[in-house]
Chains A and B, each alone.
Chain A
Amino acid sequence: MTERPLGKDLLGLEPLSKEQIQLILDTAEPFKEVSERVIKRVPTLRHKTIVNLFFEASTRTRISFEFAARRLSADTVNVAASGSSVEKGETLVDTAKNLEAMRIDMVVMRHPSSGAAQFLADRIRSNVVNAGDGTHEHPTQGLLDLLTIRDRLGRIEGVRVCICGDILHSRVARSNIWGLTKLGAQVAVCGPPSLMPREVSSLGVTVFKRIEEAIEWADVLNVLRIQLERMQGGFIPSVREYYRVFGVTVERLEKAPRDLVILHPGPMNRGVEIDSRVADGSHSVILDQVTNGIAVRMAVLYLLAGGRPELAEAAKRE
């Protein structure tokens, strides 16, 4: 287990090549089946120690990483920022050095500052997996979105995907944009201009101002969560108005020229960015995303640990 097809860390999808992204998706395939077993555990990463270091509250991502690690038989420790030395004023560099001194193998980190994952990765020898850094990237979310689209449509190349909502503050949006464009999808964004980054088209996306235009154009909508604190920040007037202007509703989808696939990274605000009937409807692949999240994260942990992609199936029996 010496070759590292992804390098030491997974910090984002921007630095990865098309081939590396495809490799992760392909490697995830054999791991899907593990979660369908009665005994959901393979010995692949036995004796590896993984720290889940979460400086922001997270339920879904943290649990998903924890299941991924445990189903690969790794030892995991969860560290939440509250109540830890971090709350006592420890700097990230000191936290990193202390983890390194404990001779761990991998760190999965969620952090409120963009670039924090790279900061950590540059300072420790252990593998670092970015579980979301500020408004920068959330690469495993991007990967599970790609896998879900590929599962549903059989391909990614040429598929039209529109990411809807708060692009400015979304790490999910950035990872989606990089991953999708590298794999040949056509990517658009749609949302209030007050929640768009300046120069957003420099990221290689088309911009729709109206959700109706996006629905008419797209094969897939990836609907982002509207964070309620954006109202206090003055970016949008109210959730009510947001739903009225940008909400993904049954009525709007009925006007679409084709059946759309609806993704949402969760947690959903029903009745804000998405109509409950859409979230629960036949177009929605939201729960498939959650299931795929574990397989993708297993693949990432396996590859970063030096696992050979072609041996992923065999590795499950080691």
Chain B
Amino acid sequence: MPLMLPLPLFLTNGRVIDPSSGLDQIADVLIVDGKIAGVGKGLGKPDGAEVVHAKGLVVAPGLIDLHVHLREPGNEDVETVASGARAAVAGGFTAVCAMPNTDPPTDNQAAVGFIVKQAHQARAARVYPIAAISLGQEGKQLAEFGELVAAGAVAVSDDGKPVASSHLMRMALSYAQTFGIPVADHCEDPTLPRGVMHEGVVSARLGLRGIPAASEEIMVARDLLLAELTGGHVHLCHMSTRGSVDLIRRAKDKGVRVTAEVTPHHLTLTHEACDGYNTNAKMNPPLREAADVTALRAGLKDGTIDVIATDHAPHAYDAKEREFDDAPNGIIGLETALGLGLTELVAGGVLTVPELIDRMSTTPARVFNLPGGTLAPGAVADVVVFHPELKWKVDPTKFHSKSRNTPYAGRELLGRVMRTVVGGATVYDGREQ
């Protein structure tokens, strides 16, 4: 974050949307000393403030991504904390949560402190480390949650791998309550043979090994039962199946402490995208069927699924130039998430703009207990200003991320980020791009 406090910022005449208060009106937002000083009509411009004319633009709390892979330490060629934080602000995100499956994994306080330090120096988005559940993410011995949290971790996860042992998951969910942090799980049954895409009509045709929906749902069901047993907060990463949505809905009805995320790609693509052995459509969990997309959208709308998280997964430019079996999983998502949300979900009639901001900012902040996600006076001034209808074409060569692996290259999307403000400082200016 900036060392010196920036000048006051006066965002005038924008469509101010704050899901934390239900606000959606043309108004001004005043930022002083890195905090929200006021929101309303006809606020006076303080002396020396920078004025941003936001007519026709949306002014909202900055987006928060609970699930990114920044690859540092270990794979700095494809992303670093700094490049990831810059990609984040270019996509309208003011905070991201970095998964611990780096090399070495973020399983001790020094490793957590390293991410915090790298993020501080980057002066772009806030980067909150998620620490490992188990030492080395090996699924055997619990990491020292107390020290990890003290060093800055906001959650724990062995993401990339499921927590295979039910005992370890139970202990994590119990022990984490001491520190009030969620336990985030990558739900996949590791005893089923490994597949490379969704098991269904397309895998049958392509002759690729399938990952059945049940692989995810088995672990979702187990995690929900363990959350109920322990009273702990389980956060389910990147949900991909209609069965998972049903399981979570029933658990929430019973009062189980569960939150869940869905990625932009699972909301917008199906397993048909793997046709032609397109390795940019290779993900874990895999892209599923149209009925799953429909259920995930409905779940996001009714609150069963709490948040959109990108699972931003950078890979080297040639890593996907492989046989489908051998190509790595995942795509980058920070710079296309808002555009996909506005194009597919808002213009597609699934969510309103305030609902989209809620699922990408206010609710993520609440789920991981983070600052931001609100324009309430006194809150940190993490703000995004975007044009909701401006069209642009996805051109990976222009990404701020170090990586280019996206299936959306060439897609026309709505919604351009004009300015991203973190702690009152402008860290991204869309007009300069």
Question: Which residues of A are at the interface with B, using a C-beta cutoff of 8 A?
Answer: 14, 91-93, 111-116, 118-119, 133-137, 171, 174, 197-200, 202-203, 233
Please determine whether A134 and B212 come into contact, CB atoms closer than 8 angstroms.
no
Give the segment of B92-100, B323-331, B341-349 that binds chain A: B323-331
User: In the complex the two chains form, what is the Cα distance from A115 to B208 in whole Å?
Assistant: 9
Known contacts: A14-B205, A119-B277, A198-B200. The answer to whether A134 contacts B322 by CB under 8 A is: no
User: In the complex the two chains form, what is the Cα distance from A137 to B207 in whole Å?
Assistant: 8
Any A CB within 8 A of the CB of B247: no
Jot down 12 A-B pairs with beta carbons below 8 A, ordered by A. Answer: A91-B321, A112-B325, A113-B324, A114-B277, A118-B276, A133-B207, A134-B208, A171-B207, A174-B207, A198-B203, A203-B204, A233-B193
| Nearest A residue (CB) for B324 | A115
Residue numbers in A under 8 Å from B207 (CB-CB): 114, 133-137, 171, 174
Any A CB within 8 A of the CB of B150: no
Task: Mark out the residues of chain B between 191 and 210 whose CB falls within 8 Å of any chain A CB in the assembled complex.
Answer: 193, 199-201, 203-210
User: In the complex the two chains form, what is the Cα distance from A203 to B322 in whole Å?
Assistant: 27
| Nearest B residue (CB) for A136 | B207
Residue numbers in B under 8 Å from A174 (CB-CB): 205, 207
Most chain B CB inside 10 Å of its own CB: which residue of A111, A112, A174, A199:
A199
| Additional 7 contacts, C-beta under 8 A, given A114-B207, A114-B325, A197-B204 | A113-B323, A113-B326, A118-B276, A134-B207, A135-B207, A198-B200, A199-B200
| Nearest B residue (CB) for A197 | B204
Shortest CB-to-CB span from B344 to chain A, Å, is 26
Please determine whether A134 and B325 come into contact, CB atoms closer than 8 angstroms.
yes
Residue numbers in B under 8 Å from A198 (CB-CB): 199-200, 203-204, 210, 212
Please determine whether A197 and B323 come into contact, CB atoms closer than 8 angstroms.
no
Please determine whether A197 and B203 come into contact, CB atoms closer than 8 angstroms.
yes
User: In the complex the two chains form, what is the Cα distance from A115 to B212 in whole Å?
Assistant: 20
Question: Which residues of B are at the interface with A, using a C-beta cutoff of 8 A?
Answer: 193, 199-201, 203-210, 212, 276-277, 318, 321-326
Known contacts: A114-B277, A115-B323. The answer to whether A202 contacts B208 by CB under 8 A is: no
Known contacts: A113-B325, A114-B325, A116-B323. The answer to whether A199 contacts B206 by CB under 8 A is: no
Please determine whether A199 and B277 come into contact, CB atoms closer than 8 angstroms.
no
Residue numbers in B under 8 Å from A233 (CB-CB): 193
User: In the complex the two chains form, what is the Cα distance from A112 to B207 in whole Å?
Assistant: 11
Residue numbers in A under 8 Å from B209 (CB-CB): 135
Shortest CB-to-CB span from A174 to chain B, Å, is 6
Shortest CB-to-CB span from B138 to chain A, Å, is 25
Shortest CB-to-CB span from A201 to chain B, Å, is 9
User: In the complex the two chains form, what is the Cα distance from A115 to B321 in whole Å?
Assistant: 12
User: In the complex the two chains form, what is the Cα distance from A113 to B282 in whole Å?
Assistant: 14
Most chain A CB inside 10 Å of its own CB: which residue of B199, B203, B206, B322:
B206
| Nearest A residue (CB) for B276 | A118
5 closest A-B pairs by beta carbon, nearest first, are A115-B277, A136-B207, A113-B323, A135-B207, A197-B204
Residue numbers in A under 8 Å from B276 (CB-CB): 118
Shortest CB-to-CB span from B248 to chain A, Å, is 24
Shortest CB-to-CB span from A306 to chain B, Å, is 25
Known contacts: A198-B204, A203-B204. The answer to whether A114 contacts B324 by CB under 8 A is: yes
Q: Per a CB cutoff under 8 Å, which of B199, B203, B204, B323 touches A92?
A: B323
Please determine whether A202 and B201 come into contact, CB atoms closer than 8 angstroms.
yes
Residue numbers in A under 8 Å from B199 (CB-CB): 198
Q: Per a CB cutoff under 8 Å, which of B200, B206, B318 touches A115?
A: B206
User: In the complex the two chains form, what is the Cα distance from A104 to B124 in whole Å?
Assistant: 52
Residue numbers in B under 8 Å from A171 (CB-CB): 207
User: In the complex the two chains form, what is the Cα distance from A203 to B334 in whole Å?
Assistant: 38
Residue numbers in A under 8 Å from B318 (CB-CB): 93
User: In the complex the two chains form, what is the Cα distance from A178 to B200 in whole Å?
Assistant: 18
Please determine whether B205 and A203 come into contact, CB atoms closer than 8 angstroms.
yes
User: In the complex the two chains form, what is the Cα distance from A114 to B206 in whole Å?
Assistant: 7
Please determine whether A199 and B323 come into contact, CB atoms closer than 8 angstroms.
no
Residue numbers in A under 8 Å from B322 (CB-CB): 91-93
Please determine whether A136 and B206 come into contact, CB atoms closer than 8 angstroms.
yes
User: In the complex the two chains form, what is the Cα distance from A202 to B199 in whole Å?
Assistant: 13
Shortest CB-to-CB span from B274 to chain A, Å, is 9
Known contacts: A113-B326, A114-B208, A115-B208. The answer to whether A199 contacts B201 by CB under 8 A is: yes
Shortest CB-to-CB span from A99 to chain B, Å, is 16
Shortest CB-to-CB span from A166 to chain B, Å, is 12
Residue numbers in A under 8 Å from B201 (CB-CB): 199, 202
Shortest CB-to-CB span from A233 to chain B, Å, is 7
Residue numbers in B under 8 Å from A134 (CB-CB): 207-208, 325
User: In the complex the two chains form, what is the Cα distance from A174 to B204 in whole Å?
Assistant: 9
Residue numbers in B under 8 Å from A112 (CB-CB): 325
Shortest CB-to-CB span from B201 to chain A, Å, is 4
Shortest CB-to-CB span from A198 to chain B, Å, is 5
Shortest CB-to-CB span from B290 to chain A, Å, is 14
Residue numbers in B under 8 Å from A93 (CB-CB): 318, 321-322
Shortest CB-to-CB span from B340 to chain A, Å, is 26
Please determine whether A202 and B324 come into contact, CB atoms closer than 8 angstroms.
no
Most chain A CB inside 10 Å of its own CB: which residue of B206, B323, B326:
B323
| Nearest A residue (CB) for B325 | A113
Shortest CB-to-CB span from B38 to chain A, Å, is 57
Residue numbers in A under 8 Å from B204 (CB-CB): 197-200, 202-203
Residue numbers in B under 8 Å from A197 (CB-CB): 203-204, 210
Shortest CB-to-CB span from A206 to chain B, Å, is 15
Shortest CB-to-CB span from B319 to chain A, Å, is 10
Shortest CB-to-CB span from A273 to chain B, Å, is 20
User: In the complex the two chains form, what is the Cα distance from A136 to B324 in whole Å?
Assistant: 12
Residue numbers in A under 8 Å from B193 (CB-CB): 233
User: In the complex the two chains form, what is the Cα distance from A250 to B299 in whole Å?
Assistant: 57
User: In the complex the two chains form, what is the Cα distance from A93 to B321 in whole Å?
Assistant: 7
| Nearest A residue (CB) for B323 | A113
Please determine whether A119 and B323 come into contact, CB atoms closer than 8 angstroms.
yes
Residue numbers in A under 8 Å from B208 (CB-CB): 114-115, 134-136
| Nearest A residue (CB) for B209 | A135
Residue numbers in B under 8 Å from A199 (CB-CB): 200-201, 204
User: In the complex the two chains form, what is the Cα distance from A268 to B178 in whole Å?
Assistant: 63
Residue numbers in B under 8 Å from A92 (CB-CB): 322-323
| Nearest A residue (CB) for B321 | A93
User: In the complex the two chains form, what is the Cα distance from A199 to B201 in whole Å?
Assistant: 6
Residue numbers in B under 8 Å from A116 (CB-CB): 323
Residue numbers in B under 8 Å from A119 (CB-CB): 277, 323-324
Residue numbers in B under 8 Å from A200 (CB-CB): 204
Residue numbers in A under 8 Å from B323 (CB-CB): 92, 111, 113, 115-116, 119
User: In the complex the two chains form, what is the Cα distance from A113 to B322 in whole Å?
Assistant: 10
User: In the complex the two chains form, what is the Cα distance from A200 to B205 in whole Å?
Assistant: 9
User: In the complex the two chains form, what is the Cα distance from A118 to B206 in whole Å?
Assistant: 11
User: In the complex the two chains form, what is the Cα distance from A137 to B208 in whole Å?
Assistant: 11
Shortest CB-to-CB span from B70 to chain A, Å, is 26
